[in-house]
């Protein structure tokens, strides 16, 4: 195959694309005991459920605590009263429908409200609810906004998952962005390499799009979302390696989730494998206290300890990740914790005056979120 005069081997593309089969109700999953199905359907009425046969096959059903199962199968604890639907007040950064502008250089286009499957702990689960209007398929206003705002160098396509959109639609958006001279980075936030790696492996149009539009003037970054090393299957790794060959820079970001990856050995294994395949961990997030997430949360101190221990087990290149809280006021990095204090810094700040500001809090082993911490004055 030749694109823009360059030849490269895409012999991984089969003659017919491998398609996953979507599963939209818990009742369709034969491994779930009959007596649990009605209750779990109730949970799915509140927080939508969707999976696919490829991802469901990763579950070890003989293990009641299987991490992949915890990630994707509803749990009755989701009905407990907990948190806020929009825990980081993302809605307050909306400048027009589907357009969020929080940090001067970065604009988010929420261009799609569907994902390849739904993570139970999702911080954007509100977008999948019927009455939500924070996303839009029509990005024309967003593009006009970016054209007017010359300080915007980075655009993040998100949602939902942009790779659920057709390659034609994605191409239209990326083509328009590529014509805006001040846009230097186009990021695609996606869990498709984990949920359905064939989306990348089997679509020559998508591959050509990446090859053509990820250039030295405007680089495409794929912000992958692997939560557990078991998601790094052979096709998932092939997908990441292919993206690299196509000129896409891949990095990984994910939260620490109770029952999924709250284990330093698991995180370390994932960081090492990701570095080896060229998709290093970028951020490890504190899970946002989002509605329905009581069963998935871990206190900040414990999350940081797991992160710190995982980092100690890996080599230098796997240690570059930061542990952060995506707070309404900015990305707050936890730098260290001792017996009495928590040392934090604004890695990104909504208010430019806060950029880089150090903060000292009293250590609180029960706190889940920044708002619960008490400042050391
Ligand atoms: S892929 Fe991202 S947006 Fe989609 S359900 Fe998972 S966390 Fe939410």
Spans in the chain with pLDDT lower than 70? 1-15
- Ligand 1 atom at minimum distance from 121 CA: 7
Residues with CB under 6 A from ligand 1: 115, 118-119, 122, 124, 161, 191, 225
- Ligand 1 atom 3, closest CA: 160
Mutate to test the pocket of ligand 1, among 22, 160, 187, 252 (most ligand atoms within 8 A of CB): 160
Output phi, psi for 12, to 5 deg.
-75, -15
Q: For residue 318, what pLDDT is reported? A: 86
Q: For residue 203, what pLDDT is reported? A: 96
C-alpha closest to that of 375 among 351, 334, 344: 344
Cα-to-centroid distance, 191 and ligand 1 (Å): 7
- Ligand 1 atom 1, closest CA: 191
Tens digit of each residue's pLDDT (9 = 90 or more) over 307-355: 999 999 999 888 899 999 999 999 999 999 999 999 999 999 999 999 9
Q: What average pLDDT does the chain have?
A: 94
Residue 114 is assigned to a structural domain of this protein: yes
Rounded Cα–Cα distance for residues 321 and 39 (Å) = 39
Tens digit of each residue's pLDDT (9 = 90 or more) over 4-33: 333 334 445 566 778 899 999 999 999 999
Q: For residue 130, what pLDDT is reported? A: 83
Q: For residue 152, what pLDDT is reported? A: 98
Residue 377 is assigned to a structural domain of this protein: no
Q: For residue 15, what pLDDT is reported? A: 64
Residue 27 is assigned to a structural domain of this protein: yes
Residue tagged 């797991």 (tokens): 306
Q: How many domains does the chain have?
A: 1
- Residue 210's SS3 state is helix
Q: For residue 7, what pLDDT is reported? A: 38
The CATH number given to whatever domain includes residue 115 is 3.20.20.70
The domain of 296 spans 2-372
Q: Give the burial class of 44: count Cβ atoms within 10 A of its Cβ; 0-12 exposed, 13-18 middle, 19 or more buried.
A: buried
- Ligand 1 atom at minimum distance from 195 CA: 1
Residue 223 is assigned to a structural domain of this protein: yes
Q: How many CA atoms lie within 13 A of 18 on its CB side?
A: 14
Alpha helices in the chain (DSSP H): 34-46, 53-56, 67-72, 140-148, 167-178, 192-195, 198-201, 204-213, 234-245, 264-276, 300-312
- Ligand 1 atom 5, closest CA: 118
Cα-to-centroid distance, 339 and ligand 1 (Å): 35
Tens digit of each residue's pLDDT (9 = 90 or more) over 32-47: 999 999 999 999 999 9
Q: For residue 13, what pLDDT is reported? A: 55
Q: What percent of the chain has pLDDT over 90?
A: 91
Q: For residue 14, what pLDDT is reported? A: 60
CA distances from 315 to 98, 319, 321 (A): 40, 7, 12
């Amino acid at each position: 195959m030749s694109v823009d005069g360059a030849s490269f081997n895409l012999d991984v593309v089969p003659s017919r694309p491998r398609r996953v089969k979507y599963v939209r109700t818990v009742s369709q999953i034969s491994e779930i005991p009959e007596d649990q199905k009605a209750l779990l359907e109730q949970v799915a009425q509140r927080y939508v459920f969707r999976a696919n046969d490829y991802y469901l096959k990763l579950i070890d059903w003989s293990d009641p605590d299987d991490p992949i199962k915890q990630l994707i199968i509803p749990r009755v604890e989701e009905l407990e009263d907990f948190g806020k639907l929009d825990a980081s007040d993302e809605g307050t950064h909306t400048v027009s429908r589907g357009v969020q502008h929080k940090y001067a250089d970065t604009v988010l286009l929420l261009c799609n409200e569907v994902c390849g499957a739904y993570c139970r702990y999702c911080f954007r689960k509100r977008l999948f609810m019927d009455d939500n209007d924070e996303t839009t398929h029509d990005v024309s206003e967003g593009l006009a906004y970016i054209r007017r705002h010359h300080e915007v160098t980075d655009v993040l396509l998100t949602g939902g998952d942009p790779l659920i959109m057709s390659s034609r639609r994605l191409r239209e958006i990326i083509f328009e962005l590529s014509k805006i001279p001040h846009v230097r980075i186009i990021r695609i936030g996606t869990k498709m390499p984990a949920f359905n790696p064939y989306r990348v492996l089997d679509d020559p149009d998508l591959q050509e799009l990446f090859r053509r539009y990820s250039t030295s003037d405007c680089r495409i970054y794929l912000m992958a979302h692997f939560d557990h090393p078991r998601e790094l299957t052979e096709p998932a790794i092939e997908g990441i390696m292919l993206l690299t060959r196509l000129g896409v820079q891949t990095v990984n970001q994910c939260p620490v989730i109770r029952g999924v990856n709250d284990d330093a050995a698991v995180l370390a294994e994932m960081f090492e494998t990701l570095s080896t395949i060229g998709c290093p961990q970028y951020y490890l997030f504190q899970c946002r206290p989002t509605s329905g997430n009581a069963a998935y949360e871990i206190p900040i101190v414990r999350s940081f300890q797991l992160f710190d221990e995982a980092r100690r087990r890996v080599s230098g290149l796997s240690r570059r990740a930061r542990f952060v809280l995506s707070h309404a006021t900015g990305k707050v990095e936890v730098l260290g914790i001792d017996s009495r204090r928590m040392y934090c810094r604004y890695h990104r700040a909504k208010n430019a005056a806060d950029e880089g500001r150090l903060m000292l809090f009293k250590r609180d082993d029960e706190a889940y979120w920044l708002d619960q911490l008490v400042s050391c004055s």
